[in-house]
Chain A
Amino acid sequence: MNPQPQKAIVQVTRKFSASAERVFDAWLDPSTVGRWLFATPTGKMVKVKIDARVGGSYLIVEQRDGIDVEHIGEYQEMDRPHRLVFTLNVPRYSEENTKVTVEIRALDSGCELTLTHEGVLPDYVASTTSGWNSILNQLAATL
């Protein structure tokens, strides 16, 4: 039995004291991107190539435990400093092409960023049968 890939949406919101423009540019400026986006504390950033235009692609490679982990994708929408949409694929972990939408809203001071990552649940997501009831009840309370 091989069920259809299950879609998953991950969303986070965070405030920044920096301006919307600076936060937006940090996603596309190669010298900045390599220092945070797919950087891990023990990894070593080995390549950041960014073609910052709609239809342009990017390649961000970080070495983790001696293995090059590639992050590749294409920019689909670009509206500085409000909105950036790009695809994201990490071939090392999954064949799935996912989509990331970054929305930035200017505040009186700084800005608020909402990131939506639309992807697919990986097959390795382990199944477990406990705790569903409390989740169901929590949902009922929020609906």
Chain B
Amino acid sequence: MRRATSLSQSTWIALADPTRRSILERLSRGEARVTEIARPYSMSLNAVSKHIRVLERARLIRRRRAGREHFLSFNPDPLTSAAAWIEAQRSLWMSRLDALDALLQSEDAAAAKTSKRKDKSR
């Protein structure tokens, strides 16, 4: 789950569907027409187009127009660069929380020393 939550939301939504993942797998083998993409699926062209739009919004698919033909290709950038950036942000926050924990523990240690001293002076 860690890995999953560290992708951006739109990427995550786009990938959270097996049909869309299989479309990406097809496109990762090379550029294809919308009709070619739709062929193996039992759903309507319209339904496949909806999946394609979700993937386009997440920038996982690029569209190239040649006359009346639309060609689609896979864009892996959001998967790699977003994931890497988010990992870096996660570790930044983690190091801040580590610093907070260290600070609180040092306060505890100092307080324990002070109370010990008080006990001795009593």
Contact = CB atoms under 8 A, between A and B. Distances in A.
Interface of A: 3, 6-12, 14, 16-18, 22-23, 26, 32, 35-39, 113, 115, 117, 119, 121-122, 125-133, 135-136, 138-140, 142-143
A113 B98 CA distance: 12
A136 B8 contact: no
A138 B83 CA distance: 12
B15 interface: yes
A126 B76 CA distance: 12
B100 A23 contact: yes
A3 B61 CA distance: 13
Nearest to B5: A11
A58 to B, nearest CB: 15
Interface of B, helix, strand, loop or mixed by DSSP = helix
Contacts, number: 119
B93 A132 contact: no
Please provide the 7 A-B residue pairs with the shortest distance between their CB atoms, ordered closest to farther: A132-B76, A127-B77, A36-B99, A8-B8, A10-B89, A18-B104, A125-B81
Contact of B105 (A17, A35, A140): A17
Interface of B: 1, 3-11, 15-16, 21, 24-25, 28, 59, 76-86, 89-90, 93-94, 96-105, 108
A10 B90 contact: yes
Contact of A6 (B3, B28, B82): B82
A17 to B, nearest CB: 7
B79 A142 contact: no
A125 B85 contact: yes
Contacts of A113: 97
B3 to A, nearest CB: 5
B104 A22 contact: yes
